[in-house]
Structure 1
């Protein structure tokens, strides 16, 4: 079959070449339309309870993860030199498209009792622009007398000040966000230049935008680096520019196909799918090496034995032999690699589904690209020269292969003992593995994104959103039952006592502010109104707002702020909390403590208390991805095992093939455990990826072993020796390409991508060793047991 296919490819070469060119042009056009995307919540299925609760919350109260925070730390804040530029900064930021609202000290309001109208009026504290020092001092004294803003807009101990920008979700989730964030950073740079005060930036809109931009830049960098590195390695191996260009042509077409696939499937380029183009290069190059290696071997054979045969016919025979011998091998190698990636599509996580579908499809497309393009181009190229095939007799590599042969034949017991010891040590390390991920743990700890986030955690206890909704199960249950308000205040005090949680914003904070205003602005009265206070205070709670030309400077910001903490039926109360990025390991315990206290204060039979928000969605998404990846490893093993069983039709060979590939995974898991590398979405990904790629080495070795067995009168030992020498060089070369390709990822700015690089490289090094030393030893040992029986 494969011989006929090789002849057909040569016969219909022009038609196939035109067809491949047309399809490549079409996919290149689609690929140019691929867009960037970065969303945390897409890790959870749409029908998951956590996602349903989160979506219902957003419908009722709006997006929770759309706050961008600007922070400074200075003891000269209330001076003309800093305060007036800060006022200008707020005014300039308000004008930027995509910025809906800003809460900051220059726009802060005070509640003032108007006895005549029996209303509480919200008046701006800082009215004139620009302000002289006397006006700033007067406003500062008034502002600092308002406990409502303490911990929200300023930290009196550390002299840190915060400005919150509410971003338009439609802008932040579209291409416009880059322009918006760039304009924000430009205004901040102007402020820094004018005041010489360093500004800190954080919040999910900012973090997502910056990371999405870095993803795009890294994808281009890794793609370019992997292509250049592959070009250098190929040139060193084959000493042939044409072989190098042919191989690069295959992988570049594969990259265009992958980008086109992302677009036509309606996906976006994410932190995961951005890895696919460089992976296509890394996986595609070994295809080319194995095809070219077999072509060169066949050509040498044809050159020595085909006396009197025309050169063109020799070349045709060598190409047909290449396809007939390597077609089935490359098919199953790509199939195994595709399975290693495609199993992610079996999970319920949208992010993993996309990665698995795109990677699995394009690895198989890569096989067809290689199968069509390589034989056709080789047919048009002149036959290889002596220098192009000299690598087949690399004396240094042959000496190493001789050593491998001796170890497999004479030192099998030692090989098994060393392997057993390593597996025991690695297994002990796997018990030390912990699952832990942070929202920004993929960036280095010296990165400005990370250091700025830690600034807000240190001074304001964090900026990660957590939302708590208390359903009283009764209409007007929040406002008409004083006991419910007291319970909310008690729960708020518990939350404030937690070191990881900032002071929550809720209706009771508005009531405390109103009580302070009712008692002539005395800050000692900033407390929960008593049941006796409420009747006298109720008449003041309908706050009056000023007209645009009102000289009092009234503002409705406070009214809008407080009104967001109840639903329209006043049945539900919302507590909005900012918290530190504590990681998925500590977060469940923190949330369990919150839920326990909530149910103590709000009994389940009378209230419904739900915790939601981006932090919860992130936690559940991380769990979901990790569990999905664990499942995918199981399915990958099962499907690859079935492929191996179909290919070799022998349980003995199946067992021999799986052991050398399970051991590298166990060793990698052990290294992670001993090195303290946590399990998280990016690191769990390593196991399926490495399994799918490492099994290639086993397939190539065993297919060659099976093909040679009949030529050596079924003598296993002689066949193993021959297989070590015939496939060893190409296995070592391709392993070097794969390892070098993944080492590129070690230069990533994302911790997860960096871990993917070095851990996958370690797995591939181990897999190469086990397949060239342990696998031959197993084949010989199992065959001897069979002979004894």
Structure 2
């Protein structure tokens, strides 16, 4: 069949090239329309209860991930010059387009009892009219007498101060957000220049924007770097400009189809899908090497170009098809997970790898048939002295030192098993960023001074409309305050913000600003305070207290929220913290209430679980599908078991190394195993197909056939392994920990897989007493 296909391709080469060119032009247009994803990765399926709770919260109270925080630390902020600059910073931030509001020390208000209207007036503490240090010091005393702002806008112990910048949520999900963040950053830099006080910026808007922008930059870098590296390696191997350009053309067309497929499926470029084009380059180049290497080998034997091309396709077509199929399976199984981001990556990567095979199958024999026959300088690599020397040493080990090979393998397995016992699973919202990155260090500033900025929301529902009104409301807020006090006592969580804090603030105002009265109203004074809190029909609600009242209770007065800022504690610690909060909530609120924990911290935890579980399942499915492919290809359970053993060991070594080095299991590192398995099995297939093809030629003599396979297939295996390893090593230049891990862990897996397939697999084949396998 493959021989007929080869003749068909060569016979219709011009027509096929024209069709491929036209289709590639169309896919190029589609590729130009692909957009960058500006949303958080959708790791949770829409039917998940946690996801639904979060969407319900957003519908009731708005988005929780649109606050960017700006922090400073200084003992001299209340120096008139510095404070004026700080006030100017707040004003400049409010002027940034799409900034909805800025809550900060200069804009802080005090509640003052108005005897004429029986209401509380919101009076600005730091008036713009302040001109002297004495006036500023007086206002400072008023501010520091208000417990409401402690730990929210400042930390008196560390002299750290915070501005909370609320950004329009629609703008955060659009390309405009990069400019918004840049404008905010520019304003903070100007403040630094004026005062010499360092600023720190964090929050989900900053993290999301920085990650998306870096994805875009790194995608370009990895594409260019992988193409340049591939060009250098191909030129070094084949010593032919035309052959190198042809191979690059194959992978460039593959990249165009990859990005075009993203558009056709309605996907955007995310942290994972951005890896697909460079992966196509890394996997596409070995296709070219295997095809062209076989073409050169057969031409050296036949000295007839057309026969060599037909032989190239007939012998390497089935091998390359199954190699690409197993690699596509390694990626494609992610489509079976329940995580949207993994589904997208699996679909695009799997289809792209198979398209690279189709492109290689059509383009290589078609174009090579137009090019001149290879000259002797182009065939020198077939007799490379150092490669020949390496293969001779491998051959000697396999034929004469089988026990040594098995012994080293046993030690590697023992080393790996011990390391795997040390593996731990943990993930952080920003753990893919290096600890020296400013985003990471700024986040730690807020964790050290304000216990973090990651949002956690608690929704308390009375399950009935207007359940939080009248005399019942005070009892509810007493329970809310008890829960808030429990949360505030946790070392990883800041004092929560809720309506209970607003009531405390109001009571303090009712009692002439005495901070000793910063507490919830009791049954006696609740009615009086309540009258002061009830808004006037004609009053202007444009003050921070009114806005807080509106944002912390739903329109039907059925539910209220408790907002918590917490540290990025990771997926191992977070469940215990949440369980403690839930237990405390259940002791305070009986079954007539509903208490739900939600927010970005919850969805991150749930998403991490889905991704890790999905990746574990994908490894199982990858093994199953690859095993079925190999069973169909070789029709031998024994060969199947040998190849699976050979390729299990590299994965075990990688997992063991992670355990010994303390690399945790998290979404970005678990990804390595399915990817590496799909690629590593290629080596087994290439070796075993060559072995099975040559076995009859050597009268079914296993030892002789193994020796031949090492010498001839080993050449292309070593070359392609070097290309793959070098291609994945490029990812180590990434600023994302997950991409960096994909680079070095996959490279390690491929190094071990190359060794096991060239040494352990032949030893296992020769270990059988019968001659025929």
Q: Provide the residue aligned with 2:543 in structure 1.
A: 556
Deviation at 1:42, TM superposition (A): 0.6
Q: Provide the residue aligned with 1:449 in structure 2.
A: 439
What CA distance in whole angstroms lies between the structure 2 residues aligned with 1:546 and 1:136?
33
Among 489, 506, 521, the alignment partner of 1:514 is 506
Q: Is 2:588 the counterpart of 1:596?
A: no
- Tell me which moved more, 410-419 or 150-159: 410-419
User: Match of 1:219, SS?
Assistant: helix
Deviation at 1:206, TM superposition (A): 0.9
- Tell me which moved more, 392-401 or 626-635: 392-401
How many residues end up aligned between the 2 structures? 771
Length-normalised TM-score, structure 2? 0.98
Q: Provide the residue aligned with 2:450 in structure 1.
A: 460
Mapping 1:275-354, distance limit 5 Å: 275-303=275-303, 314-354=304-344
Deviation at 1:472, TM superposition (A): 2.4
Q: Is 2:398 the counterpart of 1:439?
A: no
Q: Provide the residue aligned with 1:487 in structure 2.
A: 479
From the superposition, tell whether residues 131 and 274 of structure 1 become closer, same or farther in structure 2 (CA, over 3 Å).
farther
What CA distance in whole angstroms lies between the structure 2 residues aligned with 1:169 and 1:320?
59
CA RMSD of aligned residues (A): 1.6
- Tell me which moved more, 225-234 or 31-40: 31-40
Among 407, 411, 419, the alignment partner of 1:417 is 407
Q: Provide the residue aligned with 1:576 in structure 2.
A: 563
Among 687, 691, 704, the alignment partner of 2:690 is 704
Alpha-carbon contact 1:443-1:750 (below 8 Å) kept: yes
User: Match of 1:539, SS?
Assistant: helix
Q: Provide the residue aligned with 1:309 in structure 2.
A: none
From the superposition, tell whether residues 587 and 165 of structure 1 become closer, same or farther in structure 2 (CA, over 3 Å).
same
Q: Provide the residue aligned with 1:638 in structure 2.
A: 624
User: Match of 1:441, SS?
Assistant: coil
Alpha-carbon contact 1:464-1:581 (below 8 Å) kept: yes
Mapping 1:342-741, distance limit 5 Å: 342-479=332-469, 480-481=471-472, 482-543=474-535, 556-603=543-590, 605-741=591-727
What CA distance in whole angstroms lies between the structure 2 residues aligned with 1:209 and 1:400?
48
From the superposition, tell whether residues 109 and 206 of structure 1 become closer, same or farther in structure 2 (CA, over 3 Å).
same
What CA distance in whole angstroms lies between the structure 1 residues aligned with 2:38 and 2:634?
43
Length-normalised TM-score, structure 1? 0.96
Deviation at 1:697, TM superposition (A): 0.5
What CA distance in whole angstroms lies between the structure 2 residues aligned with 1:132 and 1:378?
84
Deviation at 1:545, TM superposition (A): 10
Q: Deviations over 1:33-65 (max 9, x none)?
A: 211115445100000111011101111111011
Deviation at 1:413, TM superposition (A): 2.2
Deviation at 1:345, TM superposition (A): 0.3
Q: Deviations over 1:306-362 (max 9, x none)?
A: xxxxxxxx2111111111110110000000000000000001110000000000000
Alpha-carbon contact 2:38-2:174 (below 8 Å) kept: no
- Tell me which moved more, 34-43 or 282-291: 34-43
Alpha-carbon contact 2:38-2:175 (below 8 Å) kept: no
Q: Deviations over 1:658-683 (max 9, x none)?
A: 11101100111111111111011110
User: Match of 1:469, SS?
Assistant: strand
Q: Deviations over 1:264-313 (max 9, x none)?
A: 2111111111111111110001000000100100110112xxxxxxxxxx
Deviation at 1:785, TM superposition (A): 5.4
Alpha-carbon contact 1:546-1:555 (below 8 Å) kept: no
Alpha-carbon contact 1:122-1:545 (below 8 Å) kept: no
User: Match of 1:42, SS?
Assistant: coil
Structure 1 residues without counterparts, runs of 5 or longer: 304-313, 549-553
What CA distance in whole angstroms lies between the structure 1 residues aligned with 2:305 and 2:219?
39
Structure 2 residues without counterparts, runs of 5 or longer: none
User: Match of 2:532, SS?
Assistant: coil
Q: Provide the residue aligned with 1:307 in structure 2.
A: none
What CA distance in whole angstroms lies between the structure 2 residues aligned with 1:443 and 1:171?
24
Deviation at 1:403, TM superposition (A): 1.9
Deviation at 1:544, TM superposition (A): 5.6
Q: Provide the residue aligned with 1:306 in structure 2.
A: none
Deviation at 1:475, TM superposition (A): 3.7
Alpha-carbon contact 1:466-1:616 (below 8 Å) kept: yes
What CA distance in whole angstroms lies between the structure 2 residues aligned with 1:533 and 1:204?
40
- Tell me which moved more, 239-248 or 562-571: 562-571
- Tell me which moved more, 242-251 or 510-519: 242-251
Alpha-carbon contact 2:130-2:136 (below 8 Å) kept: no
